[in-house]
Structure 1
Amino acid sequence: MPRSERRTELREFLVSRRARITPQEAGLPLGGPRRRTPGLRREEVAVLAGVSASWYQWLEQGRDISVSPQVLDAVSRVLRLSAAEVRHLYLLAGLNPPASERVSARRDMCDGLRRLIDTWMPYPAHIMDRYYNCVMYNAAATAVFGMGEDSTPRNCLVDFFADPLFRSRTLSWETNARTVVAQFRAACAAHPEDEGFRAVLAEVSALSPEFNALWAERDIEDQGQIRKELMHPRAGLLAVESTAMRVPARPDLLIVLHTPLPEADTAAKLEWLANGSDGVRMLGA
């Protein structure tokens, strides 16, 4: 978008968002001078955001002024902007949008995600947070991978390297280990100051020399698809392809769906394993 058009859009966008917020919603006292419009005045937005009235007026006018992420965040809070609106404001102001995690995640997505992985039955599906903690899984994930067989919260990275049950069932462990570590390193690199990642790294490093050796290689990979081969104690050989996806409205979660591959009559075996199991269990999402 040309700069002149971006400034015009910035002005119109801020004016329209300001008009949506009533003084009562912003926590301002009732009464005062009679209003021409139900929304906030420029001066009120400035006070609530902690900036000068002149500066906010210049921002709305699209003037060539210095804009910081901190000030845009303050204005966003006053105007109650959604995640998409915050990103739009940053772009119109000429700044790179904030990382998705800085925008408050929509908690109402959880019910929809539960329905998603439930509908994926009889194929395994689970959802991880950004630290690879498993927060949701369907019954097929329990039948195939043993998820939820006890009440202990599980971390998928730690289980991959340190859980004997998972290791015993996974024929493709050697092939996939390097990819798993490279993908986790990419996630860590995007959050260099996040103590949650450091805690997971400390735990898995203390448990697995194999992880430490792969981590030292410093490989980086994006999330994507991984072929998995398992030897299940009841169903025998299973071949699936896992696909990891993110939902923009919940960037803190990673959805992992497993699709049966043609080998070993996997689809029929998964349906048989899932027969008699129902529901989606939660681990604190």
Structure 2
Amino acid sequence: MNDERRRKQLADFLRSRRSRLSPGEMGFQVETSRRRTKGLRREEVSSLSGISLPWYTALEQGRDIHVSEQVLESLVRTLRLNSDERNHLLVLANHSPLPQSKADDAVPPSLQKILDRMGTYPAYIIDRRWNVIALNQISDTLCRDFSRDPELGRNILWRIFAVEDSKFRIVNWENVASTMVAHFRSRFAFYMNDSWYQELVDKLCDRSEEFRTLWERHDVSDTLEGEQIIRLPETELLTFRYHTFKISESSDFAMRVFTPVSEENKVLDSENIVVD
């Protein structure tokens, strides 16, 4: 991993977490008319964490210093990080093992057979870059002929923010978008040595103000499930619960399966779904 880039991400993450905390809730008496800092000040984080101000300042400046796990755990408590945020902090501080980057192999025919056997349950397989590399017929139909898209168009994050009709087709777009960005940022921390990730982020920031706003929040999440509501051309709504499964410990592939929430849309026929 590029150490300078990692330290920059760590600094930005710490600033974003302290900015969301209320000084009053943390026990500080604050005269708001004279306070310019949003959230906690550096010295307040330092005091609450029991670490020196120069040391914490060095962290937020992205300087090359070694941080002990004890200090990190103290920051976890002070900044009130949840478990996903704690894991993210440990990765950025280089206290969590990083996966070995390896070239993605072709999808075995056996996995395509599993997708096809899903029948009316939309399902697809993604690689570590979130590119769809295999899918079943119903998923291709609901996604408007996914199989014909160019390479970037097969990236699920790109499709959420850069494909024009995504906001219309995904009824709960705001929730889906924020969840996906938070999860992608968690993965981004593991693969910062792969320039492809930063290039995708840069392209999305240029293309979408919504993505840029969400990315700058530094929210992280390891959640691999959620709800998605799809609007068909004739305004019919289909509600799905999706789950994501890592295929094996030795593979970067993951399978995402969408199961219907209600009885009304539990039976779908890809031949009868008309997509403009």
| Match of residue 24 from structure 1 | none
Which deviations, in whole Å up to 9, do the C-alpha atoms of 1:133-172 show, x marking residues without a partner?
A: 1111111112212142634222110110111132221101
Alpha-carbon distance, 1:127 to partner: 1.3
Partner of 2:269: 272
Q: Aligned in 2, Cα 1:221/1:147: closer, same or farther, shift over 3 Å?
A: farther
Post-superposition Cα deviations, 1:27-50, rounded to whole Å, max 9, x if no partner, equal: xxxxxxxxxxxxxxxxxxxxxxxx
Partner of 2:231: 231
Q: CA–CA distance in 1 between the matches of 2:178 and 2:158?
A: 14
Corresponding residue for residue 140 of structure 2: 142
Q: Report how far residue 124 of structure 1 moved.
A: 0.8
Distance 1:109 1:126, change over 3 A: closer
For residues 52-67 of structure 1, what are the structure 2 equivalents within 5 Å? none
SS in 2 for 1:184: helix
Shift of 1:193: 1.3
Q: What residue in structure 2 maps to residue 214 of structure 1?
A: 214
Relative to structure 1, the CA distance from residue 208 to residue 121 in structure 2 (aligned partners, 3 Å threshold; closer, same or farther) is same
TM-score (norm 1): 0.56
**Matching residue of 2:100:** 101
**SS, match of residue 203 in structure 1:** helix
- Percent identity between matched residues is 24
**Unaligned stretches of 5+ in structure 2?**
1-94
Distance in 2 between residues matched to 1:130 and 1:108, nearest whole Å: 13
Cα gap change, 1:260 to 1:182, in 2 (>3 Å): same
8 Å CA contact 2:170, 2:228 repeated in 1: yes
Aligned residue pairs total 178
* Secondary structure of residue in 2 paired with 1:123: coil
* Equivalent residue, structure 1, for 2:193: 193
Deviation track 1:72-131 (CA, whole Å, cap 9, x = no partner) reads: xxxxxxxxxxxxxxxxxxxxxxxx9975435676x4762222111111121111111111
Shift of 1:192: 2.0
Give the Å deviation of 1:275: 5.6
3-state SS of 1:113 partner: helix
CA distance in 2, matches of 1:191, 1:172: 29
Separation in 1, partners of 2:239, 2:145 = 18
RMSD after superposition: 2.7
Query: Structure 1's 164 and 102: CA in aligned 2 closer, same or farther, altered over 3 A?
Result: closer
Q: Which has the larger radius of gyration?
A: 1
Q: Is there any run of 5+ residues in structure 1 with no aligned partner, and where? A: 1-95, 278-285
Tell me, yes or no, if the aligned pair for 1:129 and 1:254 is still in contact at 8 Å.
yes
